[in-house]
Amino acid sequence: MKIAFFSDIHANLPALEAFFKDVDSENVDTIYCLGDLVGYNIWPNEVVNRIRKRGIITIMGNHDENLLKPIIKETTPSNKGLTRSMVTDENRAYLINLPRHLTLSFVNNNTPFNLLLTHGSVKAINDYMVVDYPEDEVLSMMQSKEADVLLCGHTHKPFHRVIKEGNNFKHVVNIGSVGKPKDGDPRICYAILELNQNTIPSNPEAIKVTFKRAEYDVEKAAKAVEASDFDSNYATALREAK
């Protein structure tokens, strides 16, 4: 089974369109989104509408959660304030009612294998699950949810980490960012997980993780920022992937 996971689109419509074009060529069985559909750019509604139109199961990101706050008048427009003023009531209702976690359970030979989908971590929606996050804390979080794989986003930096626990192995997969990469590569990034009959907790290679990159029109996204009330530093961040 092939599953695509993507996250952190951040209202970047050209990047999302490139993702759909790329993932549609991969013949995946299903697609999940790990949140942060909005923020930092001018197309929050277009991004939400396209994801909703495809019926993609999505969890909440911290920028989506921010829409729970009321619209207030700002002397200096902020990223979050601008986003709150742009999102339609219908899309706001959709975003603030997304689940914060989701578990996918697979069974091979009566042995369960669970994938836990989060945005930040089990601790908090805005927790940064970095590659060197303390091992004991990672295991504690995963044990509390009976998870064999923890899939997350938020840092915008992809990695696959394997942690040994007794006779079994835990996997942490940060899937990177479609709309705002921060690892020095401005191309979109998402992950494809493959599961098969050897997908059991005792197998260190229980899952195959492929990080996909694809080009998109970075300049279109950057110039949209510069022509808006958003901070022009966000345009630089898109170009430099920082």
For residue 10, give the CATH number of its domain: 3.60.21.10
**What pLDDT, on a 0 to 100 scale, did the predictor assign at position 105?**
96
**What pLDDT, on a 0 to 100 scale, did the predictor assign at position 73?**
79
Q: How many helices (H) does the chain have, and how many strands (E)? A: 8, 10
Please check whether residue 174 is in contact with residue 152, taking contact to mean a CB–CB distance below 8 angstroms. yes
Arithmetic mean of pLDDT over the chain? 97
Q: How far apart are CA 143 and CA 147, in angstroms?
A: 6
Per DSSP, 71 falls in state P
Q: Give the sheet arrangement for strand 57-58, strand by strand.
A: 57-58, 30-33, 2-6, 188-194, 208-214
Per DSSP, 207 falls in state S
Name which of 65, 81, 70 is nearest 125 in CA terms: 65
Does position 74 have pLDDT exceeding 90, yes or no? Answer: no
- Residue 228 structural domain: 2-240
Residue 13 binned pLDDT confidence (cut-offs 50, 70, 90): very high
* CA 138 to chain CA mean position, Å: 18
The token duo for 27 is 């013949």
Residue with tokens 């999102």: 87
Count up the domains in the chain and report the number. 1
Q: Report yes or no on whether pTM surpasses 0.75.
A: yes
Q: In the chain, which ranges are E strands?
A: 2-6, 30-33, 57-58, 102-108, 111-117, 149-152, 159-165, 168-174, 188-194, 208-214
Does position 70 have pLDDT exceeding 90, yes or no? Answer: no
pLDDT digits (tens, 9 = 90+) for 197-233: 999 999 999 999 999 999 999 999 999 999 999 999 9
Report the pLDDT averaged over residues 172-186.
Answer: 98
Report the pLDDT averaged over residues 62-85.
Answer: 90
**What pLDDT, on a 0 to 100 scale, did the predictor assign at position 16?**
98
What's the Cα-to-Cα distance from 207 to each of 103, 148, 191, 203, rounded to whole Å? 16, 10, 12, 9
pLDDT digits (tens, 9 = 90+) for 98-123: 999 999 999 988 899 999 999 999 99
Q: Is 100 helix (H, G, I), strand (E, B) or coil?
A: coil
Q: How far apart are CA 182 and CA 155, in angstroms?
A: 8
